């Protein structure tokens, strides 16, 4: 390849970078700044050529970004404040480019955040408004069912169906409210030591009571003396969701292992079952809102498709990670990995 060909390729490349709607930085594999477009200068405060050769963390000094880089998982973007404007929120995406380079993309997301806030408020308000009429409907159904006059078998079945659907709606409303609550950001002051062994033991005891129909074998492996800093109600909700899912979707008489243990520099809460398992092409969608693998089965079990979305947001607040492993026809394991910094 001659010099003129390389020059033409470079020209096309940098012209393309300038045409991007977002700020873009070209980095080396070890994340050293090589070049970028003019939008990167305006949005990120990069100065060319002065900042060429600096590591990206010297430019974007933010704990969230540092954690994002250290994790090395760039499938989802990172949200940070602009280094030159505290009122501006940026979404950062990192991806491999051309095999030997990394491209960092950034865009202002103030409007996006406003829309997200409006959606959260809308969901919370609608959910609150739904609670009252549902309570009224349930009250009338129960009153009719408890009447002294015997109901025709047909109408008895109708009212039983109505009661079941009202219960399902109530669970959905409660989960929507829970999701709306955990989506709201909080200060680190809310984080307190949580006795995880006690929390897990209590969840398992509750599960044994709920498990009387399906009679699973619930086995526990709980390491004592290991707690984490967090919001106890949120952690309880996340762990309970994983356990209730295992009970709901593991066939009668199956085995469910619940553990709380240390593994190297992390501590792990996991729920493992020998149920049907999950197909590989479905794993990445499990934490999406309202996503259900089998809609008919979810209707039978009362699933809403919100449980794992709640877990995902709780773990984001706690800088923890949900790892899902599954083999179709053999079972699944849902594990929450807590970093050493949260252990107490």
Assign residue 102 the CATH number of its domain.
3.30.450.20
Looking at the structure, tell me whether residues 58 and 136 fall in a common domain.
no
Looking at the structure, tell me whether residues 230 and 266 fall in a common domain.
yes
Q: Which of 183, 213, 232 is the last residue of a domain?
A: 183
The whole-number pLDDT of residue 262 equals 93
Tens of pLDDT along 65-82? Answer: 888 888 888 888 888 888
Looking at the structure, tell me whether residues 96 and 147 fall in a common domain.
no
Looking at the structure, tell me whether residues 103 and 245 fall in a common domain.
no
Using an 8 Å Cβ cutoff, are 238 and 315 in contact? yes
Looking at the structure, tell me whether residues 98 and 130 fall in a common domain.
no
Across 124-136, average pLDDT:
74
Using an 8 Å Cβ cutoff, are 167 and 159 in contact? no
Q: Kindly tell me if the per-residue pLDDT of 4 is higher than 50.
A: no
The whole-number pLDDT of residue 215 equals 87
Looking at the structure, tell me whether residues 194 and 206 fall in a common domain.
yes
Tens of pLDDT along 304-341? Answer: 567 787 888 888 878 899 999 998 888 999 999 998 88
The alpha carbon torsion through 22, 28, 33, 34 (nearest 10 deg) reads -90
Looking at the structure, tell me whether residues 73 and 128 fall in a common domain.
no
The whole-number pLDDT of residue 179 equals 64
Q: Kindly tell me if the per-residue pLDDT of 185 is higher than 80.
A: no
Higher pLDDT, 196 or 64: 196
Higher pLDDT, 135 or 26: 26
The alpha carbon torsion through 59, 60, 61, 62 (nearest 10 deg) reads 180
Looking at the structure, tell me whether residues 47 and 141 fall in a common domain.
no
**Which domain range does residue 126 map to?**
112-183
Please tell me the pTM assigned to this model: 0.54
Q: Which of 183, 199, 231 is the last residue of a domain?
A: 183
Q: Name the domain count of the chain.
A: 3
pLDDT band per the 50, 70, 90 thresholds, residue 255: very high
């Amino acid at each position: 390849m001659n010099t003129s060909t390389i020059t033409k390729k470079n020209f096309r490349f940098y012209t393309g970078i300038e045409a991007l709607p977002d700020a873009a930085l070209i980095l080396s594999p070890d994340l050293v700044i090589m070049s970028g477009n003019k939008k990167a200068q305006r949005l990120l405060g990069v100065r060319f050529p002065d900042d060429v050769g600096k590591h990206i963390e010297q430019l974007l000094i933010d704990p969230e970004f540092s954690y994002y880089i250290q994790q090395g998982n760039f499938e989802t973007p990172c949200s940070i404040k602009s280094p030159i404007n505290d009122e501006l929120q940026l979404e950062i995406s990192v991806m491999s480019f051309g095999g030997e380079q990394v491209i960092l993309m950034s865009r202002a997301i103030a409007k996006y955040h406003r829309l997200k806030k409006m959606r959260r408020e809308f969901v919370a308000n609608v959910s609150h408004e739904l609670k009252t009429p549902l309570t009224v409907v349930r009250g009338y159904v129960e009153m009719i069912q408890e009447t002294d006059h015997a109901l025709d078998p047909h109408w008895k079945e109708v009212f039983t169906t109505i009661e079941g659907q009202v219960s399902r709606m109530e669970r959905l409303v409660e989960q929507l409210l829970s999701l709306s609550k955990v989506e709201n950001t909080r200060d680190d002051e809310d984080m307190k030591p949580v006795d995880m062994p006690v929390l897990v033991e209590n969840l398992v005891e509750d599960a044994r009571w709920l498990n009387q129909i399906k009679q699973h074998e619930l086995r526990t492996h709980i390491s004592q003396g290991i707690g984490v800093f967090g919001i106890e109600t949120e952690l309880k909700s996340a762990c309970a969701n994983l356990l209730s899912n295992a009970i709901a979707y593991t066939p009668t008489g199956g085995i469910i292992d619940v553990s709380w243990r240390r593994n190297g520099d992390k501590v792990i809460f996991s729920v493992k079952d020998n149920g049907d398992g999950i197909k590989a092409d479905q794993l990445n969608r499990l934490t999406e809102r309202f996503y259900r693998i089998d809609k008919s089965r979810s209707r039978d079990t009362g699933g809403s498709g919100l449980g794992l979305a709640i877990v995902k947001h709780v773990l984001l607040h706690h800088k923890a990670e949900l790892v899902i492993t599954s083999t179709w026809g053999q079972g699944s394991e849902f594990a929450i990995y807590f970093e050493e910094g949260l252990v107490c």
